[in-house]
Amino acid sequence: MGREVQVTIENYINGEWCKPVSEKYIVNKNPANLAEEVGNVPDSNEQDLDAAVAAASGARKAWRSMAGAERGNFLYKVASIMEQNVDIIGTMMTREMGKTLGEAKGEVLRGIAILKYYAGEGMRPVGDVIPATDPTALMYTTRVPLGVVGVISPWNFPVAIPIWKIAPALIYGNTVVWKPARETAVTASLVMKCFHEAGLPAGVLNMVIGEGKLIGQKLTEHRQVQGITFTGSNAVGKVVGQTAAARGAKYQLEMGGKNPIIIAADADLELAVEATISGGLRSTGQKCTATSRVIVVRDIYESFRELLIERVKQLKVGNGLDGDTWLGPCANQKQYETVQHYIEKGIAEGAELVIGGEPQQEASLQQGYFVAPVVFDQVTSRMTIAQEEVFGPVLALIKADSFEEAISLANDTQYGLSASIYTKNIAQALAFINETEAGLVRVNAETAGVELQAPFGGLKNSSSHSREQGQAAIEFYTAIKTVFIKP
């Protein structure tokens, strides 16, 4: 493909598509082919954000006054429209951030399922009757929306993550200002179009595209925004949390992970290797729940290592639109350079680079941010690649002398998002569940992935200790109101 800008997108404020006040745009390029310009995206400023917050604030009363079932009907409509556009949205996601087409379409389908799930939440209970000490009185609890919620979403899941934030925010009666990642803003605009076509009332959902340091920061600081939900890096997340807390706003942070998979001595090696590769290398390792540390008990270390390397050699890197491709490029230049930095760091600190990391030889792969999947051996827990989040297709093999040491190594990190173990021993599985410091633990399954009806979130520095998805989402997006009525 040549250098052709396919589309110029706009912000969505108060039910209308509008140019940024600055009239400035930047170009998003295909990370698999930098000669292809995917679209012009707004470079918005504070005035755009103020307009969006004002629109959301103005729509609050009417939206929260609707019955939950009526709000749910809008989400069902959005899901129906999105079902008709799976191919379009999935293809744009692949072109804009490099995820393989199969994964991209799967993410869109997950977004649709999330919309349908939360549409049903509009008909579920939101409180309890509580016995009062006065027998003539009625006491009960109900839940009320926060008001205006700011949604700051990342580029690695440009459909699923914003939807699992926006859908519960809306169904529980909040209005929303959404700042999608600029790197995937064209994909975000396709999602926004589905809400627009569903007839969502003006001001209920607004989208402002711009630099995170400006739009994200101003959204977090805005006094008319009662809640902030953020997914992204730890460095940015800490600033978001501190800024929101300083003015008394509610906040929710989902951040990094350094997720371990433990391979016990009795593990099925075939299954364990497949889970390690799928969990660590799919989506080019650009998942917060991706497997990063592979902790293998000494007895089966060499056997596991040989099988893992054999399978990794078979993986095809390429354009995500190619059906034979197993993993695509890094999503952008910054992430590509970050991965290269950690590869160099691993070598410098004495880890053995077993496979991957070499420059791409194919001419087509030299046009994008491609990294061949990397496996490091002889990694110790103190090395940088065993402690810091790489967010790329890099696996670090760590040898454990015993199952007990494997658990200790798994916990030896500031993060606590997800963790996995492969074992046939139920006692070891239960010990892993009880002792592992992670918000999501999986037995005989990869570290990546969580079902939409289940709570999701991390421990330690991986989150603000709140939970997303499932019915747990109501805890963030609402406040409890206790009611006492005496005749």
**Structural domains of the chain in order of their starting residue, each with its CATH number:** 11-255+463-485 (3.40.605.10), 259-451 (3.40.309.10)
Rounded distance between C-alpha atoms, residue 342 and residue 357, angstroms: 10
Element housing 13 (H / E): strand 11-13
- Fill in the amino acid letter for 204: V
CB 250 within 8 A of CB 145: no
Q: Is 466 exposed, middle or buried (0-12, 13-18, 19+ CB in 10 A)?
A: middle
Rounded distance between C-alpha atoms, residue 184 and residue 168, angstroms: 22
Q: Is 168 exposed, middle or buried (0-12, 13-18, 19+ CB in 10 A)?
A: buried
CB 187 within 8 A of CB 96: yes
Question: Which pLDDT belongs to residue 5?
Answer: 52
Q: Is 106 exposed, middle or buried (0-12, 13-18, 19+ CB in 10 A)?
A: middle
Question: Which pLDDT belongs to residue 278?
Answer: 97
E strands of 188-299, at which residues?
A: 205-207, 227-231, 250-254, 259-263, 291-297
Here the tokens at position 241 are: 């949390």
Rounded distance between C-alpha atoms, residue 93 and residue 131, angstroms: 52
CB 288 within 8 A of CB 333: no
Q: Which residues, other chains included, contact 454 with Cβ-Cβ below 8 Å and sequence gap of 6+? A: 469, 470
Rounded distance between C-alpha atoms, residue 217 and residue 244, angstroms: 10
Rounded distance between C-alpha atoms, residue 54 and residue 160, angstroms: 26
- Fill in the amino acid letter for 396: A
CB 150 within 8 A of CB 205: no
Here the tokens at position 107 are: 């993410």
**Local structure of 40: helix, strand or coil:** strand
E strands of 43-165, at which residues?
A: 138-145, 148-152
Rounded distance between C-alpha atoms, residue 321 and residue 325, angstroms: 8
- Distances from the Cα of 253 to the Cα of 32, 77, 149, 275, 477, angstroms: 30, 29, 13, 27, 13
Rg over alpha carbons for the chain, rounded to the nearest Å, is 23
Element housing 37 (H / E): strand 33-42
CB atoms within 10 A of CB 132: 14
* Number of helices and strands in the chain (H, E): 14, 20
Query: Catalytic residue numbers?
Result: 254
Q: Are strands 374-377 and 352-355 parallel, antiparallel or unpaired?
A: antiparallel
Question: Which pLDDT belongs to residue 138?
Answer: 98
Q: What SS3 string covers 377-396?
A: ECCCCCCHHHCCCCCCCEEE
- Greatest Cα pair distance in the chain: 81
Rounded distance between C-alpha atoms, residue 389 and residue 366, angstroms: 25
Question: Which pLDDT belongs to residue 363?
Answer: 74
Q: Which residue has the tokens 């977004």?
A: 111
DSSP code, position 135: T
Question: Which pLDDT belongs to residue 450?
Answer: 85
313: nearest Cα among 391, 394, 374:
374
Alpha helices of 254-382 — where are they, by DSSP H? 269-281, 301-312, 333-348
Backbone angles phi and psi of 250, in degrees to 5: -75, 140
Q: What is the pLDDT along the chain (487 residues), one digit of tens a residue?
A: 344 556 999 999 999 999 999 999 999 999 999 999 999 999 999 999 999 999 999 999 999 999 999 999 999 999 999 999 999 999 999 999 999 999 999 999 999 999 999 999 999 999 999 999 999 999 999 999 999 999 999 999 999 999 999 999 999 999 999 999 999 999 999 999 999 999 999 999 999 999 999 999 999 999 999 999 999 999 999 999 999 999 999 999 999 999 999 999 999 999 999 999 999 999 999 999 999 999 999 999 999 999 999 999 999 999 988 888 899 999 999 999 999 999 999 999 999 999 998 777 787 788 999 999 999 999 999 999 999 999 999 999 999 999 999 999 999 999 999 999 999 999 999 999 999 999 999 999 999 988 999 999 999 999 999 999 999 999 999 999 999 999 9
Q: Are strands 138-145 and 205-207 parallel, antiparallel or unpaired?
A: unpaired
CB 191 within 8 A of CB 160: no
In DSSP terms, which residues pair with 240 in a beta bridge? Answer: none
Q: In whole angstroms, what separates CA 424 from the centre of its chain?
A: 31
45: nearest Cα among 214, 262, 223:
214
Here the tokens at position 459 are: 């421990």
Q: Which residues, other chains included, contact 281 with Cβ-Cβ below 8 Å and sequence gap of 6+? A: 290, 312, 315, 326, 327, 373, 393, 395
Q: Which residues, other chains included, contact 173 with Cβ-Cβ below 8 Å and sequence gap of 6+? A: 63, 64, 66, 68, 71, 144, 145, 478
